[in-house]
Amino acid sequence: MLSDKLEQFVQTSPLLVRDSSLNGYVRGLVCKLSGPDCGDLRVYVLEDPTMNAETLPNGAVVVFTGLLLRMQNEAQLAFVLGHEMTHYYNRHSVKRWESERGTMNVLAFLGGAALPLYFIAMDHFMSFSRDQEREADEGGFQRATAMGYEPQQAAEIWRMMAEEDKADPNKPSPGIFGRDHPSDEERLAALSKRAAEIESTKSQWTTGADDYRKLIAPFRDKWLEDEIARSNGWQSAVVLERMVRNEPNNGMLQYFLGEAYRKRGKDGDAQLAVAAYQQAVASEDPPPRAWRDLGLLAMKSGRTAEARTDFASYLARAPNADDRSMIEFYQSQLGGK
């Protein structure tokens, strides 16, 4: 009942991504991992910057764009989806419901017409035990490697998770009922060990990196906007630093890295933001917004001549910018020619 209600909410959500190519790709990967059971699963992609995916007890697979943004290749996405599908096939949520039916009855009684309580209940019953999480890690690993995906990519996911978790000094406590998951470090070690055990059993493994990059390319700038709008510069900086390491000459990535530093705002971040924006404007395809933000930082620091030059460069490259009147106002306050 709870799963069906949540699926109905997802189906009508304005955040539901309806792009046929993206949905087709994710559904194709789910079917590849599930084989003949594919018909039991329904796939939804939600525009949400959270790094998350869930398979509900009724077979609804919900994938957030924050996860798609962070995955570096198809193999990593396959391990995550395989993990979530293992929860479903091993009936982990149902087993939790059966062991805590009294809590369920209370929530159902209170929930009546109050939709938020359904989300609270689902948060509770999708919070799996340590053993269930380990079981899902192993199940996802087996499903993905059986399809030929490079084993070490499973561990790489938890390396990335650990980086983000450690970066945020204000990381909130786990959900309302608490989480009892293995640590990122434990999962990284366990999956690294499993990868080492089977790497030599196959001469060639695949990551699907090129196809994956082509798939998400049309959506990435929007997802990066959503990531910056999350207002967690600590984690966003880690995400963007990782992406820039892979594509150092990408002007848009350098621009968003500057935005992440600006949002983070710790000592020295203004200088790091300037350096990233400067890398952006020096790229082959520079985003005009980089000049605007260079101008804003220069104006804030009292470097009026630089600010005037940067604002003029921005408006020359984006003459129809939505914020043109604001930038022109700043120019009038700075004086000069």
pLDDT digits (tens, 9 = 90+) for 145-187: 999 999 999 999 999 999 999 998 887 654 333 456 788 899 9
Domain ranges of the chain: 2-201, 221-334
- The three-state DSSP-derived secondary structure of 151-195 is CHHHHHHHHHHHHHHHHCCCCCCCCCCCCCCCCHHHHHHHHHHHH
Place of tokens 């605007």: 292
Give the pLDDT confidence of 310-324 residue by residue, as tens digits: 999 999 999 999 999
Higher pLDDT, 110 or 184: 184
Apex 48 CA angle, 214 and 97, nearest 5: 120
Give the pLDDT confidence of 247-294 residue by residue, as tens digits: 999 999 999 999 999 999 999 999 999 999 999 999 999 999 999 999
Apex 106 CA angle, 103 and 111, nearest 5: 120
Question: Bridge-partner residues for 42, per DSSP?
Answer: 60
221-334: what CATH class? Answer: mainly alpha
Residue 115 has pLDDT above 70, yes or no: no
Residue 214 has pLDDT above 50, yes or no: yes
Q: Within 10 A of 1 (CB to CB), how many other CB atoms are there?
A: 11
pLDDT average, residue stretch 323-332? 96
Higher pLDDT, 253 or 105: 253
Residue 113's pLDDT band, with cuts at 50, 70 and 90, is: very low
pLDDT at 124: 54
- Alpha-carbon torsion (33, 36, 37, 41), positive or negative: positive
- What's the whole-model pTM score? 0.88
Give the pLDDT confidence of 54-98 residue by residue, as tens digits: 988 899 999 999 999 999 999 999 999 999 999 988 876 666 666
Q: Are 58 and 7 in contact (CB under 8 A)?
A: yes
